[in-house]
């Protein structure tokens, strides 16, 4: 086994526990399963095992008697070096089997800046990057996850994509493969032809007119694992997660997740209680997160919390409510929880701009929530804004300062805590995303983003308010990659060959190399982030949101 070659050198790399497998609740590999699936996440172990989607699919696939599924993640640079030195290929965590020996590699596409890492993992597996360069000897390369709604920039690297919810269609794809392999009639081309008729399957090598996303109809009856794999190390989100609903009740115009996961589908309270009980005893975390895109919009939240509380208390498990929105923030939740910091994703500082983006909160909501929170002992507030939103003016930016000042004043008036107020303003850069009403919009040019960031930095520093902001350059690349067409595959490959990898890691991001790669193909960042006209790269994908609806929403947005 190739892993044996590096086993005794593991102490030379950072966090060796990332590479050893043996996680509690990891699936027992079925040696003779006809369909061997390798679930890949193009980032390091700690990030990968914080993702819920791959864990659901991993356990689901392993339920099938003909399928065995293992994990592989992107090794950090020190491990890459060790592996290359000893000629060890990318291997699976569970059985240390080389990736190449699997029938399928499924990549989770969570963010565009992980695209070079897909190539990195294929490269480490000694698998040719382009689908056209791979014969039947090589595994099928599959993509899925939110970025697959516009798969074009990476389409040439993949044999197929599963767009939408994977729970129903992915096992079907594996079963079809098993069937053909068993009766000896497997042929890659014919297999791809066959599965291209399945809901949600996109095969780049075929000319499919329209691809409708796959969708689980009844989430309440949809599989959810309770014996979930427990990482060897403290990872980013180290807690049990319960998906209470899929989709979002709101329709913020900038938010891709709000559109592509439609419609909103819920699990019933009793189902959730049952899942929670089993998760607590099968996993053992001391924290359980009730996860969704906007948890406080779950209509039975009160009932769920009331039933869950005694169970959690007995097991000494604390309940976390992520994605708590300002407008659904209730003081009753504040009372029980630890009094630390409030987070508001305000996005825009003026009511006009909030109307443009359809963010349904008012300044009064924010300030009254702050008042309640301050009165009950909170001393920290985080405000998230987006800069470069469509129709944004100087006024909208200046109002960020005004809002911050008001919160400071409120703290002086109402604070019970003697600590000084910790106010943090954060800004990200607006990225126009496919399948949102803003999919055609321009992104604010780099120099203007930096000018705005500098303005905020100076003004907020004067007020003693901490300011943090997302890098403008990586946001620009995100905008390019998320709306790009097939031609971008050459850019991505060039960038990777020139050393771009782990682009989502700020200190590893090499903007200049990306610009160089774009320029080589006579593409410019400014050109690609302009307002889009004509046919969009994702025109043949149907996520269930009609084109007309997006156009209508765009018009409405422009009228504020």
Partner 1 sequence: MVIIKFEKVNMREFIPHLDIMRVFNMAFRRAGLSVNYSEGFNPHALFFFCQPLPLGVMSKAEYFTVSTVEKAEEIMNKLNKTLPKGLKILKAKTVESDPNFAASCNRAEYVAEFFEDLPDFDIKNTILIKDKFLLTRIDKNGIEKTKDVRSLIFKLSQNNNKLKMCLGYGNENLRVDALIKQLFINYACHNMVKSITKTKVYDKNDVDFDKKYFGV
Q: Interface with partner 1 by CB under 8 A: which residues?
A: 8, 10-11, 16-17, 20-24, 230, 232-234, 280-286, 315-317
The minimum distance between CB 234 and partner 1, in angstroms, equals 6
The minimum distance between CB 372 and partner 1, in angstroms, equals 22
Contacts of 284 (CB under 8 A, 6+ apart): 230
Residue 233 or 463 with smaller CB distance to partner 1: 233
Distance between CA atoms of residues 122 and 105, nearest Å = 9
468 forms bridges with which residues in the sheet? 426
Burial call 469-483: b when 16+ CB within 10 Å, e when fewer: bbebbbbbbbbbbbb
The minimum distance between CB 291 and partner 1, in angstroms, equals 19
Residue 282 or 365 with smaller CB distance to partner 1: 282
Phi, psi dihedral angles at 47 (to 5 degrees): -80, -45
Residue 23 or 243 with smaller CB distance to partner 1: 23
The minimum distance between CB 3 and partner 1, in angstroms, equals 10
- Cβ 284 vs Cβ 238: under 8 Å: no
The minimum distance between CB 17 and partner 1, in angstroms, equals 5
Residue 13 or 121 with smaller CB distance to partner 1: 13
Phi, psi dihedral angles at 514 (to 5 degrees): -70, -45
Residue 230 or 450 with smaller CB distance to partner 1: 230
The helix (run of H) or strand (run of E) holding residue 291 is: strand 287-291
Distance between CA atoms of residues 43 and 46, nearest Å = 8
The minimum distance between CB 233 and partner 1, in angstroms, equals 6
The minimum distance between CB 318 and partner 1, in angstroms, equals 10
Distance between CA atoms of residues 4 and 93, nearest Å = 13
Task: State the SS3 of 249-281.
Answer: CCCCCCCHHHHHCCCCEECCHHHHHHHHHHHHH
Residue 34 or 231 with smaller CB distance to partner 1: 231
Residue 63 or 286 with smaller CB distance to partner 1: 286
Hey, how many other C-beta atoms are within 10 angstroms of the C-beta on 84?
12
End-to-end CA distance of the chain: 64
The minimum distance between CB 18 and partner 1, in angstroms, equals 9
Distance between CA atoms of residues 383 and 442, nearest Å = 25
Residue 206 or 233 with smaller CB distance to partner 1: 233
Query: Counting runs of H as helices and runs of E as strands, what totals does the chain give?
Result: 20, 17
């Amino acid at each position: 086994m190739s892993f044996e070659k590096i086993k005794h050198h593991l102490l030379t790399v950072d966090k060796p526990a990332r590479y050893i497998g043996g996680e509690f609740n990891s699936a027992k590999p079925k040696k003779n399963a006809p369909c061997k699936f390798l679930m890949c996440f193009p980032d390091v172990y700690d990030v990968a095992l914080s993702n819920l989607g791959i864990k659901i699919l991993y356990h689901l696939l392993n339920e099938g008697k003909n399928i065995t599924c293992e994990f592989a993640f992107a090794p950090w640079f020190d491990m890459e070096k060790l592996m290359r030195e000893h000629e060890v290929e990318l291997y699976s965590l569970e059985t240390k089997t080389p990736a190449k020996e699997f029938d399928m590699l499924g990549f989770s596409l969570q963010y565009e800046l992980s695209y070079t890492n897909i190539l990195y993992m294929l490269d480490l597996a000694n698998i040719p990057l382009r689908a056209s360069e791979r014969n039947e000897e090589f595994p099928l390369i599959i993509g899925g996850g939110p970025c697959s709604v516009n798969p074009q920039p990476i389409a040439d690297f993949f044999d197929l994509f599963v767009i939408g919810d994977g729970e129903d269609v992915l096992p079907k794809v594996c079963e079809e493969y098993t069937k053909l392999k068993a009766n000896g009639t497997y042929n890659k081309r014919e297999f791809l032809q066959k599965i291209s008729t399945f809901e949600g399957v996109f095969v780049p090598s075929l000319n499919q007119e329209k691809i409708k996303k796959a969708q689980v109809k009844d989430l309440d009856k949809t599989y959810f694992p309770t014996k979930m794999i427990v990482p060897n190390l403290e990872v980013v989100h180290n807690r049990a997660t319960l998906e209470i609903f899929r989709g979002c009740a709101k329709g913020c115009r900038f938010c891709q997740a709000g559109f592509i996961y439609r419609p909103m589908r819920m699990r019933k309270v009793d189902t959730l209680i049952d899942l929670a009980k089993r998760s607590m005893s099968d996993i053992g975390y001391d924290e359980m997160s009730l996860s969704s895109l906007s948890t406080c919009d779950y209509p039975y939240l009160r009932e769920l919390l009331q039933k869950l509380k005694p169970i959690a208390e007995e097991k000494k498990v604390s309940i976390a409510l992520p994605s708590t929105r300002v407008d659904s923030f209730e003081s009753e939740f504040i009372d029980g929880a630890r009094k630390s910091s409030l987070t508001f994703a305000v996005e825009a500082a003026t009511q006009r701009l909030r109307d443009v983006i359809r963010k349904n909160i008012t300044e009064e909501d924010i300030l009254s929530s702050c008042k309640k929170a301050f009165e009950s002992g909170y001393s920290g507030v985080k405000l998230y804004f987006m800069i470069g939103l469509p129709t944004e003016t100087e006024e909208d930016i200046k109002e960020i300062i005004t809002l911050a000042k008001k919160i400071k004043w409120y703290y002086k008036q109402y604070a019970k805590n003697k600590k000084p107020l910790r106010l943090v303003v954060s800004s990200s850069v607006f990225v126009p995303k496919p399948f949102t009403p803003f999919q055609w919009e321009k992104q604010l040019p780099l120099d203007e983003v930096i000018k705005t960031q500098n303005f905020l930095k100076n003004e907020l520093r004067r007020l003693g308010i901490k300011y943090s902001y997302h890098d403008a350059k990586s946001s620009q690349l995100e905008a390019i990659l998320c709306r790009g067409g097939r031609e971008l595959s050459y850019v991505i490959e060039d960038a990777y060959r020139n050393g771009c990898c782990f682009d989502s890691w700020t200190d590893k991001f090499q903007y200049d190399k990306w610009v160089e790669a774009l320029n080589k193909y006579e593409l410019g960042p400014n050109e690609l982030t302009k307002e889009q006209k004509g046919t969009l790269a994702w025109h043949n994908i149907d996520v269930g949101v009609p084109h007309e609806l997006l156009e209508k929403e765009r018009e409405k947005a422009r009228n504020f």
